[in-house]
Amino acid sequence: MEKYYTIDINLSMKARILSNDLSISFIIKNITDQYYEIIKNYPMPKRSFVFSASYNVK
């Protein structure tokens, strides 16, 4: 199998609002849309996006 490289970016932020915690993150996986296989004939996912947010009330 050929060598491959992927680039991921993760941007995240944490803030305190009225003594509660807010967390937000945005992730881009395989930003260059690189084609690659870990197992022969089973390609890995192309570029993908993940957004998450959580708010913890105390």
- Residue spans per domain, the chain: 9-56
pTM score, whole prediction: 0.76
Per-residue pLDDT reduced to its tens digit, 3-39 = 889 999 999 999 999 999 999 999 999 999 999 999 9
Judged by DSSP in three states, 55 sits in strand
The pLDDT value recorded for residue 2 is: 83
CB 49 within 8 A of CB 28: yes
The pLDDT value recorded for residue 58 is: 86
Per-residue pLDDT reduced to its tens digit, 36-52 = 999 999 999 999 999 99
